[in-house]
Chain A
Amino acid sequence: MQTDQLSRRTLFRLLGAGGALAAVPAWAQGHSIGARHEPPIRVGFDQVHGDVINLSVGAGQRTIQGRTGHGIAVNGSVPGPLIRLREGQNVRLNVTNHLSEDTSIHWHGLLVPFQFDGVPGISFPGIRPHETFVCEFPIRQSGTYWYHSHSGLQEQSGHYGPMVIDPAGPEPVACDRDYILLLSEFTSLHPHFIMRRLRTGGGYFNRQQTSWTDEYPMSVAERRMWAKMRMPPTDIADVTGSTYTYLANGRGPEEGLEFLFRPGERIRLRLINGSAMTFFNVRIPGLPMTVIAADGQNVRPVEVDELQIATAETYDVIIEGGRAEAYAIVAEAMDRSGLALAMLASRSGARASVPALRPPPLLTMADMGMNHGSSGSGGHGGMDHGSSGSAPGAASHSMAGMSMRDTSLLPPNVALGPGIDMVSMAPVDKTDDPGLGLRDVPHRVLNYRMLAALEPNRDTREPSRLFEIHLTGNMERYMWSLDGSMFSAVSDVPIRFAWNERVRVKLVNNTMMAHPIHLHGMFFEVVNGQVPAHQPRKNVIVVQPGASATFELTANEPGDWAFHCHLLYHMHAGMMQTVTVVGPEGAA
Chain B
Amino acid sequence: MAWRRTIVLTLAAHAVAVPAMAQQHDHQHDQPSVKPQPQPTAQAQPDDTTADHAEMGHDAHAEPAAASPGSAVVTFPAPEAGSGPPRAADAIWGEEAMRSAREDLRRTHGDFPVFWFQGDRLEAQVRQGNDGYLWDVQGYYGGPTRRFWFKSEGESGFGEPVKDAQFQALYSQAIAPFWDLQAGVRQDMGGPGTTHAVIGVQGLAPYMFEVDAALFVSHRGDVTARVEAELDQRITQRLILQPRTEVNLAAQDVPMIGIGAGISSFELGVRLRYELRRELAPYMGIEQSWRLGRSADFARANGENPSVTNYVVGIRFWF
A and B: bona fide binding partners: yes
Q: Are A121 and B34 CB-contacts (below 8 A) given A499-B80, A501-B80?
A: no
Task: Specify which chain B residues have a CB less than 8 angstroms from the CB of A532 in the assembled complex.
Answer: 37, 39
Instruction: From A383, A431, A528, A586, give the contact of B80 (CB < 8 A).
Output: A586
Q: Judge whether A224 is part of the interface by a CB distance below 8 angstroms.
A: yes
26 A-B pairs in the complex with CB atoms less than 8 angstroms apart: A114-B88, A124-B89, A199-B144, A201-B318, A209-B234, A212-B236, A381-B10, A381-B13, A383-B58, A417-B174, A421-B177, A428-B21, A428-B64, A432-B61, A449-B61, A465-B75, A474-B177, A488-B107, A489-B111, A493-B85, A498-B77, A529-B62, A531-B39, A550-B65, A559-B89, A574-B111
Q: Which residues of A contact B204 (CB under 8 A)?
A: 230, 476
CB A423 to nearest CB in B, in angstroms, measures: 11
- For residue A208, which residues in chain B have a CB less than 8 angstroms away from its CB? 237
Binds A, one of B92-100, B187-195, B248-256, B259-267: B92-100
Q: For B108, what are the chain A residues with a Cβ–Cβ distance below 8 Å?
A: 152, 572
Stretch of B1-9, B222-230, B294-302 on the interface side = B1-9
- Do residues A122 and B86 form an inter-chain contact, with CB atoms below 8 A? yes
Query: Chain B contacts of A431 at CB under 8 A?
Result: 64-65
Residues of A within 8 Å of B234, CB to CB, are 209-212
B160 interface residue, CB < 8 Å from A? no
CB distance from A468 to the nearest CB of B (A): 5
Nearest-CB distance from B230 to chain A (Å)? Answer: 14
The interface residues of chain B lying within 8 Å CB-to-CB of A189 are none
Interface size on B, residues (CB 8 A): 87
* B119 interface contact, C-beta 8 A: no
The CA-CA distance from A586 to B97 in the complex, in Å, is: 25
Chain A residues whose C-beta falls within 8 Å of the C-beta of B37 in the assembled complex: 462, 527, 531-532
Instruction: Report A-chain residues with C-beta under 8 Å of the C-beta of B67.
Output: 428-429, 548
B102 at the interface (CB under 8 A from A): yes
Once the chains bind, are A497 and B81 in contact (CB under 8 Å)? yes
Q: A417-B145, A486-B110 are in contact. Are A383 and B6 (CB under 8 A)?
A: yes
Cross-chain contact B34 with A200 (CB below 8 angstroms): no
User: Is B41 part of the binding interface, using a Cβ–Cβ cutoff of 8 Å?
Assistant: yes
Given known A-B contacts A449-B60, A498-B78, A463 and B65 have beta carbons under 8 A apart: no
Q: Which residue of B lies closest to A583 (CB)?
A: B88
**A220 — which chain B residues lie within 8 A by C-beta?**
none
Determine whether B74 belongs to the interface, using a CB cutoff of 8 Å to chain A. Answer: yes
Residues of A within 8 A of B (CB): 114-115, 119-126, 152, 196-197, 199-201, 204, 207-213, 224, 227-230, 302, 374, 380-387, 405, 410-413, 417-421, 428-429, 431-432, 449-450, 452, 462-468, 474, 476-479, 481, 486-489, 491-494, 496-499, 501, 504, 506, 527-532, 548, 550, 558-560, 571-574, 576, 578, 580, 582, 586-588
A448 to chain B, nearest CB (A): 10
Closest to A421 in B: B177
A477 to chain B: closest residue by CB: B144
Chain B proximity of A289: nearest CB distance (Å):
14
| Most chain A CB inside 10 Å of its own CB: which residue of B73, B104, B105, B145 | B105
Contact B80 A121 (CB under 8 A): no
Q: Is B314 an interface residue (CB 8 A)?
A: no
Smallest CB gap from A414: residue in B: B71
Q: Which of B9, B38, B63 has the most CB of A within 10 A?
A: B38
Q: Which of B13, B98, B179 contacts A125 (CB 8 A)?
A: B98
| Chain A residue, CB-CB nearest to B180 | A418
Contacts of B66 in A (CB 8 A): 429
Chain B residues with Cβ below 8 Å from A548 are 67-68
Q: Which of B13, B63, B64, B84 has the most CB of A within 10 A?
A: B64
15 other contacts beyond A587-B79, A587-B83, with CB at 8 A cut-off?
A115-B92, A120-B104, A199-B114, A201-B278, A383-B13, A383-B61, A418-B145, A421-B177, A450-B60, A452-B60, A466-B74, A474-B177, A488-B107, A548-B67, A576-B110
> Taking CB as reference atom, which chain B residue is nearest A212?
B235
Indicate if the CB atoms of B6 and A386 lie closer than 8 Å: yes
Cα distance, A528 to B38, chains bound together (Å): 8
Considering only residues 6-22 of chain B, those with a C-beta below 8 Å from chain A are: 6-7, 9-11, 13-14, 21
CB within 8 Å for A386 and B3 given contacts A120-B104, A211-B237, A465-B77: yes
CA of A102 to CA of B60 in the docked complex: distance in angstroms?
46
B29 within 8 A of A: no
> Which of B10, B88, B178 is close to A560, meaning CB atoms less than 8 Å apart?
B88
**Docked CA distance A196–B68 (Å):** 38
Contact indicator per residue, chain B 256-291, by CB within 8 Å of chain A (1) or not (0): 000000000000000000000011000000000000
Q: A429-B64, A462-B34 are in contact. Are A488 and B10 (CB under 8 A)?
A: no
Q: A383-B10, A465-B75, A476-B204 are in contact. Are A506 and B145 (CB under 8 A)?
A: no
Q: Which residue of A lies closest to B15 (CB)?
A: A374
Interface: B233 (CB within 8 A): yes
Interfacial chain B residues near A465, Cβ < 8 Å: 34, 75, 77-78
B144 to chain A, nearest CB (A): 4
Q: A121-B105, A384-B6, A462-B37 are in contact. Are A580 and B86 (CB under 8 A)?
A: yes
CA distance A429 to B103 in the complex (A): 37
Residues of A within 8 A of B62 (CB): 449, 528-530
Query: What are the residues of chain A within 8 A of B64 when measuring CB–CB?
Result: 428-429, 431-432, 449, 529
| Residues in A neighbouring B208, C-beta threshold 8 A | 227, 230
Q: Which of B34, B35, B82, B86 contacts A578 (CB 8 A)?
A: B86
* Closest Cβ–Cβ distance, residue A513 to chain B (whole Å): 15
Report the Cα distance A204→B88, complex, angstroms: 40
Nearest Cβ on chain B to A6's Cβ, whole angstroms:
34
Shortest CB-to-CB span from A180 to chain B, Å, is 26
- Enumerate the 6 nearest inter-chain pairs by beta-carbon distance, A residue then B residue, closest first: A121-B105, A486-B110, A574-B110, A529-B62, A411-B71, A488-B110
Contact in complex: B89, A487 (CB < 8 Å): no
B100 touches A384 (CB 8 A): no
How many whole Å from B134's CB to the nearest CB in chain A?
A: 23
B106 within 8 Å of A by Cβ?
A: yes
Q: List the B side residues contacting A467 at CB < 8 Å.
A: 74-75
Cβ-defined contact, A494 with B86, below 8 A: yes
Complex alpha-carbon distance, A75 and B245, angstroms: 58
Chain A neighbourhood of B13, CB < 8 A: 381, 383
Closest to A555 in B: B81
Residue of B nearest to A527 (CB): B65
Tell whether, in the assembled complex, residue B178 and residue A421 are in contact, meaning their CB atoms are under 8 Å apart.
yes
Partner pick for A212 among B68, B100, B176, B233, CB 8 A cutoff: B233
Closest to A116 in B: B92
In the complex, what distance in Å separates the CA atom of A209 from the CA atom of B40? Answer: 42
Q: Which of B73, B82, B102, B109 contacts A496 (CB 8 A)?
A: B82
Cα(A479)–Cα(B177), bound, Å:
10
Bound-state CA distance A197–B279 (Å) is 10
Contacts of A201 on B, CB cut-off 8 Å? 278-279, 318
Name the residue of chain A whose CB is nearest to the CB of B50.
A529
Nearest CB on B from A190, distance (A): 14
Question: In the complex, are the beta carbons of B102 and A124 less than 8 A apart?
Answer: no
Closest to B176 in A: A418
Q: Mark B24-60, 1 if CB is under 8 A from A, else 0.
A: 0000000001111111110000000000000010101
Decide if A477 touches B174 in the complex (CB within 8 Å).
yes
- Is B221 engaged at the interface, CB distance under 8 Å to the other chain? no
Residues of B within 8 Å of A462, CB to CB, are 34, 36-37
Contacts of A380 in B (CB 8 A): 10, 14
Given contacts A200-B114, A418-B174, contact A384 B93 (CB under 8 A): no
CA–CA, A183 to B137, complex, Å? 42
